[in-house]
Amino acid sequence: MYLRFMLTLTFGLTGLAVVLVTLFETILRDWDPVIDLRRWWHEAIHRHPGSQVRAEDILSELEGRRSGRFVYATRPPERAIDRRREVLRDMRAADQRVASPDYVEAL
């Protein structure tokens, strides 16, 4: 029983060694774990507390302070879509007026 266990363990570890050697020599050939660990350690230790703040949030906070209320950057202010539609509608009407034959003849 012990002999079978040792034989199985030997074949298993040999197979694992072959797989790992193949993996490290072919796929992870350019990987340097020491450099990656140093880089990770440096980023973990010297992480700036403001690195997780998005620029959109900062700008929306400043804009909200100016208008007296805070609005997240991911949520448009109320009626913003309606104002955009009105602006687009006005632009379309102005384009139609300019492109009409009556306007061209008046020039």
So what's the pLDDT on residue 86?
Answer: 85
So what's the pLDDT on residue 12?
Answer: 97
Q: Count of CB atoms within 10 A of residue 23's CB?
A: 11
pLDDT in tens, 18-69: 999 998 888 878 777 888 888 888 877 777 666 666 777 777 777 777 766 5
Q: Are 70 and 60 a contacting pair, CB within 8 Å? A: yes
Tokens read off for 22: 């193949």
Q: How far apart are CA 57 and CA 80, in angstroms?
A: 18
Q: How far apart are CA 75 and CA 56, in angstroms?
A: 11
Q: Is the pTM of this model over 0.85?
A: no
Q: Are 54 and 44 a contacting pair, CB within 8 Å? A: no
